[in-house]
Amino acid sequence: MGLKKNIISNAVLTTSSVFISFITFPYVTRTLSAGNMGSVLFVDAFTQYFIIFSSLGIPFYGVREIAKLKGNHEEQSRLVISLVSLQFLLSVILSVSFIAASYFIPALGNNSDLVLLGCLSILATSFSIEWFYQGIENFAYITKRSLIIRVLSVIAILIVIKRADDHYWYYLIMFSVIFLNAALNFGNYLWKFFKKFGGSIVITKHFRPLMVLFSINISVSIYTILDTIILGLFTDPVNVSYYSIPLKLVKIVWVVVGGFSVVLIPRISQYYHANNMEQVSALLKKSLSLVFLLTIPFAFFCIFFTDEILIAVFGREYLPAATSLRILSSIPMIIGACNVFGTQFLLPIGQEKKILRATVFGLVTSLALNFLLIPQFKHVGSSIACIFAELVVCFYVYLKAKSRIAIGFDYSLVLLTVLSSLISIAAGLFLKGYLANYYLLITICMVYVLVFAILQFIIFKNQFIYYLIRVKKEES
């Protein structure tokens, strides 16, 4: 499958993720109480933390190594079974540790049923092998499977979640999504791709590169997941929800932006090893342009229409989270740029240690600020710590990437996006007293698209936008 088709498949996948999240998440946050929602988010923070531990650096390492073994089906099969065996062994150990932790941490012990589902999620993730399909660039399969399961999860949530204390059923549905993805992925792999190989599996040779990626994951997880845990330990489930709810909204956007990173890893690796630096630089510039195109308007709208977004998406109960949403609104742009410099460039060319150093700096920044700010500022303190940690990481990986390749910025596109956002905001502020929250947000988006189109085709005539239009025409 070509690069453009991969990008289109991934765009469909991430767009559907946003659409489905905007259906389910407002419904769930309005139905479940803030306390019960906070309990789910608190337990899930531990679950995600253990998943990161059990996966080491396999998701990124697997993509790169499968791409290297293209055409060698026996060695690909050996690699898959080796990595799955390693992750499953670690998952068993960490699931036992999770259960043990619930006896010592009251907030976990009070939600033992959620902890059990978290353990099952950790075990199921061992068989998801999403990295295999990404490595062979089979993004069409990933998109089709994900769409089916997501639609089923939406139906289940709308049917099952009816009361404020249905948080267990909500987490059960979340686990079911992980389980179905893993079952379909591994079953499809055994049926279509697995080839018998001679000799035994080899696990030890993967330890060294995996430990570097594992260290990166641990460092990143501490300032992206442990902040929720620290907040829960120092405050209460309500404050956890006031931080986690805006962060969930922000994550939807950065998942959309970050989804393109994996698509480009195999291609950038090929260009780099072929010493075609012009193509690498061109891909990085286009990727940065896409980041700015998607994240600048989001940041502006979150800053100027915070209350309207929170009421429309989550309900009035979450209005105290307004400051956190404003602070976190630029996170997708920072992480998106960081992914371009780190995940899309430094990782494919084997510079994992540079990324590791960056995440260690981010880790130190996050821990220091979380412990310093949370006792006084609570959920707002977590938000401040989060954005400063991401800025430190982004700045470091940018410097290291820049030392190896020319990194270009499309200033024309940035100016076009900023002007379109400002004009849309002005229109929105004028209409603020006349339209309800939902209609106001929809109107602002429509004005933005209209203004952007007028400025693009009459004044700016930006080449990257024409490139995106050509991609769309070619696919249709």
77-115: per-residue pLDDT in tens? 999 999 999 999 999 999 999 999 999 988 889 889 999
Q: In whole numbers, what is the pLDDT of the chain averaged over residues?
A: 87
Q: Record the pTM.
A: 0.74
186 occurs within a structural domain: yes
> How is residue 1 annotated by DSSP?
-
Backbone dihedral angles phi then psi of residue 222, each to the nearest 5 degrees: -65, -40
Q: Is the pLDDT of residue 472 over 70?
A: no
Q: Note the pLDDT tens digit of each residue in 232-287.
A: 889 988 899 899 889 988 887 887 787 666 677 667 766 777 788 998 898 899 88
What band does 474 get if pLDDT is binned at 50, 70 and 90?
low
Q: Note the pLDDT tens digit of each residue in 342-377.
A: 988 998 787 888 999 999 999 899 989 999 999 999
Task: Determine the pLDDT at residue 120.
Answer: 96
Task: Determine the pLDDT at residue 330.
Answer: 95
- The predicted model gives 461-471 an average pLDDT of 75
Q: Note the pLDDT tens digit of each residue in 297-326.
A: 999 999 999 999 998 888 888 999 999 999
322 occurs within a structural domain: no
Where do we find the tokens 């190989």? 197
Q: Is the pLDDT of residue 21 over 60?
A: yes
Residue 350, classed as helix, strand or coil, is: coil
244 occurs within a structural domain: no
> In 3D, which of 62, 210, 55, 56 has the Cα closest to residue 136?
62
Q: Is the pLDDT of residue 473 over 60?
A: no
Task: Determine the pLDDT at residue 425.
Answer: 92
Task: Determine the pLDDT at residue 160.
Answer: 93
Q: Note the pLDDT tens digit of each residue in 189-225.
A: 999 999 888 777 878 888 888 888 888 877 776 667 7
Task: Determine the pLDDT at residue 460.
Answer: 83
Question: What one-letter code names the amino acid at 428?
Answer: G
284 occurs within a structural domain: no
Q: Note the pLDDT tens digit of each residue in 34-83.
A: 888 888 988 998 998 899 889 888 888 888 788 778 788 898 999 999 99
452 occurs within a structural domain: no
224 occurs within a structural domain: no
105 occurs within a structural domain: yes
Backbone dihedral angles phi then psi of residue 348, each to the nearest 5 degrees: -65, -25
450 occurs within a structural domain: no
In the chain, the N- to C-terminal Cα span, in Å, equals: 16
Dihedral (Cα; 465, 471, 474, 476), 10-degree rounding: -90
Distances (CA, A) of 5 to 156, 472, 476: 31, 10, 11
The answer to which of 135-144, 376-385, 450-459 has the lowest mean pLDDT is 135-144
The count of other CB atoms within 10 Å of the CB of residue 274 is 10
- The predicted model gives 155-172 an average pLDDT of 92
Domain containing residue 90: 1-202
Task: Determine the pLDDT at residue 287.
Answer: 87
Task: Determine the pLDDT at residue 212.
Answer: 85
Residues 188/141, Cβ–Cβ less than 8 Å: yes
**Rounded-to-integer distance, Cα 176 and Cα 117, Å:** 9
**Rounded-to-integer distance, Cα 322 and Cα 383, Å:** 11
Count structural domains, the chain: 1
